[in-house]
Chain A
Amino acid sequence: MKSILIIIIALISINANSQVIELCNYESDPDEAPIGTYFKDVNNTFTPFLGTWQYTNGNEVITFKIEKVTHYYVTENQTYEDFIVGNYNFSQDGGLTNIVNKISQSLLDESPDASVMYSPCAKDSPNKVTMTFFDVILDKGFGLITFEFLPGSTTQMQASLENRKGTYGHLVGEPAHNFNFSIPTSFVVTKQ
């Protein structure tokens, strides 16, 4: 009984010593944070963007599901962090079948790389958030998707797709980078 008490006290004291740092608000390089540091979404900046959002245009339906992951352990730095991930379905027959089908009932794998959209912080919350976007049909990365609430709305957001800005070199003989997207690059999504 005494041993169990000691262990519990030790665990509590270890936990109490863990530093909690607010996301996107760094006094020092987050890569140099002490082991056990928790980069936490203290002010719930991700909350406005969570949930299922849909765009419909005739038979074209794009559905996004944005979810928050909390206290995720980062092996490289031995720290913890909150972030959001997203997935999408894309249908061209009114939702009967999906040509992209990445949304699952629950998030099976919380790691950032298991989803096709990701953001480590929402510094412009509650107005907008930008996430990485992997185009499943074109099998291409380096896309970014920004969701920005329409003025005065909490249920509709403007979605905009773009490529990361900068230079893209490739060896002669290898395919050039594809700057296109397989879904529209500007549309409005509505919360479901």
Chain B
Amino acid sequence: MKQNIKNYLKFGILLIGISLLLYQCQKVDDNQVINSDQKSDLNITIFHNSEHFAKSNPKIYNKLQLASHSNVLSRETEYSDDHDFYFNLDDIQIIEKTGYTQYTVVVERDTESNDVLNYILLIHNNGDEDQYLVTYPRIETEGELIIDYYTATMVSLNGNSILSRGPTNCADGTPEFIGFDQEYICTANACGSQNHMPGDDSCKCGVTLPCTPAWTSCEWTSVAQWSCTGSGGGSGAGSGSGGGGGGSNDDDDDDEPLETVVLINEPKTPCEKMNKLKADTGFRDEMVDLKTAADNENVEKGRTLYNKTGIAPLNDKYLYEPSTGTPNDPEINYSYYASTQGYVHTHYEGLISIFSVQDLLDMYNTMKNNSVTDDFFYGVITEAGSAYILQIEDRAAFIAFGDANLSNDNKIFKFTSKLESYYDITNNGSVEDNEDGIVKMLQRKNAGLAMFKPTDNTFTDYVKLEYDSGDTIETNCNEN
């Protein structure tokens, strides 16, 4: 009996051992995810306003501009046949290392592509410079574009460019992707008006200026690692003085591979913001839930959206805080933090098929808070079968529109009267009439808003609504 128990124990240990071995093998196969829980020591800053970056870092900004103007990409890379590249300096990412600093900007082109291109200007402490073009291919998975790090490539740029000098760091001139980490990285986002960083009270954005205050965002981020040797053990194989990614400079992190964090410009146009929103499957599910509530409940329901912190996949990036009105009473009271990203609510049976004037007022009041960003959107889903999203197109214009029409009770009532008497927007009006009326009104009054509606009740696609010569025109954002 004792012998049997011993045999069972041995067999059990063997099984556990095999399992662990298989698990390790699996990790190796999945490879290149070097670490999944390490706290990053990467020091990342993003400037969202190149004008102010230019003021505080004129030398670097000039270099980036010169690099752009020198058309370095069209001469130095495999894309030399193309001449439609340009640098987008709206967002500038800075990664500071012990021996050098990386400045990354998005490279855009007119031709259609899923690839994300980043240009990196790497400046060593001794003044040497290197330039790289990183291509991050994106693959479509379940309707979403995901970066495929395993096929990412990096090209060293040198030669004729006025910025480049000397040989590359790698013997063959091509740093190789060796893997990526998932690291919890905190990014300091500079104040939209000046260069003040989080914690610097000098920033007047959100206090007296209508711009985005400095903030720090922390999230799990993929950090790609590159080396000339392909071994991940540094890139010292190259000759010359360039030294990027741990090249031959004495002051570099010789044993450290070059690390990059993909930079994708935040969506800025209403269509870009809408494309981002419609790709969010979590948002779609919430919209479907709210549609069900609008159809079946005699109470207004709402969701306030916030960005998730921590691990937040691109297709499910929001947290939803629910709010509920009083049954048979067409009003809903809710609270929000200034970090809100949007608000969507329902109109049950018998309520207007479009935004009410109070809804527009609510959006206006929210946008008057300078701490709320231009990403904020406003949505309504109605029992009548309509649903709409309002995106900010021109915040200043929207505030001016609100000041003129919504800034006190009498103006609001007068505005309501005009909507009914001229724009034919009424509680009992048809979905089409109300839609035509509000689109026309928003355009004629230069309200600074873009209005979208879903193409069906799955909320997977939207069209932009615009007024043109007496008609409401539907435009697919993908055509823009």
Q: How far is the CA of A29 from the CA of B443 in the complex (A)?
A: 12
Which of B345, B412, B445 makes the CB contact (< 8 A) with A167?
A: B345
Contact: A179 with B331, CB < 8 Å? yes
Interface flags, A21-34, vs B, CB<8A=1, else 0 = 00011101111100
Contact: A113 with B422, CB < 8 Å? no
Contact: A168 with B362, CB < 8 Å? yes
The reply to whether the CB of A91 lies closer than 8 angstroms to some CB of chain B is: no
The reply to whether the CB of A56 lies closer than 8 angstroms to some CB of chain B is: no
Contact: B333 with A76, CB < 8 Å? no
Q: Which residue of B lies closest to A165 (CB)?
A: B330
Chain B neighbourhood of A76, CB < 8 A: 404
B-contacting 9-mer, from A10-18, A46-54, A63-71, A116-124: A116-124
Interface flags, A144-180, vs B, CB<8A=1, else 0 = 1000000000000000000111111111101011010
Interface flags, B407-448, vs A, CB<8A=1, else 0 = 011101110011011110000000000000000000011000
Q: How far is the CA of A179 from the CA of B331 in the complex (A)?
A: 9
Q: A-B pairs with CB below 8 Å: how many?
A: 108
Contact: B357 with A168, CB < 8 Å? no
A-contacting 9-mer, from B131-139, B158-166, B335-343: B335-343
Chain A neighbourhood of B369, CB < 8 A: 171
Which A112-137 residues have a C-beta within 8 angstroms of B?
112-113, 118-121, 123, 131-132, 134
On whether A176 and B420 interact (CB within 8 A), knowing A132-B413, A169-B343, A169-B365, the answer reads no
Contact: B418 with A168, CB < 8 Å? no
Chain A neighbourhood of B410, CB < 8 A: 112-113, 118, 132
Chain B neighbourhood of A132, CB < 8 A: 409-410, 412-413
On whether A172 and B337 interact (CB within 8 A), knowing A112-B410, A113-B410, A166-B331, the answer reads yes
The reply to whether the CB of B359 lies closer than 8 angstroms to some CB of chain A is: yes
Contact: A26 with B422, CB < 8 Å? yes
Specify the main secondary structure of chain B where it touches its partner.
Answer: mixed
Contact: A28 with B422, CB < 8 Å? yes
26 contacts between A and B (CB under 8 A): A26-B418, A26-B421, A29-B418, A30-B418, A30-B422, A118-B410, A123-B421, A132-B413, A141-B409, A163-B331, A165-B330, A165-B331, A165-B352, A165-B358, A166-B362, A168-B332, A168-B334, A168-B358, A169-B336, A170-B336, A171-B335, A171-B336, A172-B335, A172-B337, A174-B335, A176-B333
Contact: B338 with A31, CB < 8 Å? no
Contact: A113 with B408, CB < 8 Å? yes
- Distance of A70 from chain B, by nearest CB (Å): 17
Q: How far is the CA of A119 from the CA of B410 in the complex (A)?
A: 8
Contact: B337 with A31, CB < 8 Å? no
Contact: B335 with A121, CB < 8 Å? no
Contact: A121 with B343, CB < 8 Å? no
Chain B neighbourhood of A26, CB < 8 A: 418, 421-422
On whether A29 and B422 interact (CB within 8 A), knowing A120-B417, A166-B331, A179-B333, the answer reads yes
The reply to whether the CB of B356 lies closer than 8 angstroms to some CB of chain A is: yes
Chain B neighbourhood of A25, CB < 8 A: 421
Contact: B417 with A24, CB < 8 Å? yes
Which of A131, A166, A171, A177 makes the CB contact (< 8 A) with B330?
A: A166
Of the listed residues B357, B366, B369, B422, the one surrounded by the most CB atoms of chain A closer than 10 A to its CB is: B422
Q: How far is the CA of A123 from the CA of B414 in the complex (A)?
A: 12
Chain B neighbourhood of A168, CB < 8 A: 331-334, 358, 362
| B residues at A contact (CB < 8 Å) | 300, 302, 304, 330-338, 343, 345, 351-352, 356-359, 361-362, 365-366, 369, 404, 408-410, 412-414, 417-418, 420-423, 444-445
Specify the main secondary structure of chain A where it touches its partner.
Answer: mixed
Task: List 13 additional A-B contacts (Cβ < 8 Å) besides A166-B356, A167-B343, A176-B333.
Answer: A29-B445, A123-B421, A132-B410, A132-B413, A141-B409, A142-B358, A165-B356, A166-B358, A166-B359, A167-B356, A167-B359, A177-B333, A179-B331
The 3 closest A-B pairs by CB, nearest first: A166-B358, A166-B356, A26-B422
On whether A167 and B331 interact (CB within 8 A), knowing A31-B445, A118-B413, A123-B420, the answer reads yes
Q: Which residue of A lies closest to B300 (CB)?
A: A167
Q: How far is the CA of A121 from the CA of B357 in the complex (A)?
A: 17
Chain B neighbourhood of A120, CB < 8 A: 413-414, 417
Which of A113, A164, A176 makes the CB contact (< 8 A) with B357?
A: A164
- Distance of B80 from chain A, by nearest CB (Å): 53
Of the listed residues B333, B337, B338, B420, the one surrounded by the most CB atoms of chain A closer than 10 A to its CB is: B333
Q: Which residue of B lies closest to A119 (CB)?
A: B413
Contact: A171 with B338, CB < 8 Å? yes
Chain B neighbourhood of A112, CB < 8 A: 410
- Distance of A92 from chain B, by nearest CB (Å): 26
- Distance of B362 from chain A, by nearest CB (Å): 5
Chain A neighbourhood of B418, CB < 8 A: 26, 29-31
Which of A31, A165, A174 makes the CB contact (< 8 A) with B351?
A: A165
Q: Which residue of B lies closest to A116 (CB)?
A: B409
Of the listed residues A31, A141, A169, A177, the one surrounded by the most CB atoms of chain B closer than 10 A to its CB is: A169
